[in-house]
Amino acid sequence: MTDQIYLCATDLLLEKYYGESVGKLKEKAQFGVDLKDFSELPFCILKNRVGNNINNCFDEAGFLPKVYTTSATIQVNEFISFTGLAAAFSTRTSLHNLRGKIPEDLNIFPLYHMGKPLIEKINIIHHKDRYLCHYNQYFFQLILNYFQKLEKLPIEQLVSTGLKDYYTTQKNS
């Protein structure tokens, strides 16, 4: 399964560093971020596997980020970005889990690396030669279904209504 990574920055933060050119910046980034366009911003940096992948994007953009803070968890960085102090990175799953708590002025831009969306792979691992009881099989299928629906849901709908409403509308259709 895959979990796409996004750059998150509030309007307040973008206006502070980019002034009147914010509209053009946001329009350009809505379908994929070129990090060099955001080089003036302070960033919350992740010190984990996701952060290592994001560092490749900084390398590709050709600049060292201005580090506001570092953390091993996405959640800490997300809440700092919600206040407008720094830009941060988040995954679809994490943003979905925060729905209802995300500020209205938060911009969520898809992060790209080498022309493709930057994703984190999520794996379920089990021993192939071991018996998998029916409730474990069912649990794995639930997880797969959840992530398949999460991957298809537009980010705007994902952070505002969540999958519960999506499942309800799909059942009723």
Can you list the alpha helix ranges (DSSP code H) found in the chain?
11-18, 22-29, 49-61, 74-82, 92-97, 134-152, 155-160, 162-172
pLDDT at 160: 62
Hey, where are the domains in the chain? Answer: 2-125
CA torsion sign for 116, 117, 120, 121 is: negative
DSSP 72: S
Angstrom distance (rounded) from CA 94 to CA 63: 27
Give the C-alpha separation, 143 to 36, whole Å. 36
Q: What is each CA distance from 169 to 47, 107, 148, 156, 161, in whole angstroms?
A: 39, 26, 16, 16, 11
In CATH terms, is domain 2-125 a member of 3.40.190.10?
A: yes
Confidence at residue 158, expressed as pLDDT on a 0 to 100 scale:
66
Which tens digits make up the pLDDT trace of 84-93? 999 999 998 8
Q: List phi, psi (to 5°) of 162.
A: 85, 170
- Listed as ranges, residues in the chain with pLDDT below 70 are 158, 160-173
What integer pLDDT is reported at residue 163 of this predicted model? 42
Residues 24, 30, 33, 34, CA torsion sign: negative
Residue-level pLDDT at 25: 92
Round to whole Å and give the CA distance between 130 and 15.
Answer: 56
Amino acid 154: pLDDT: 80
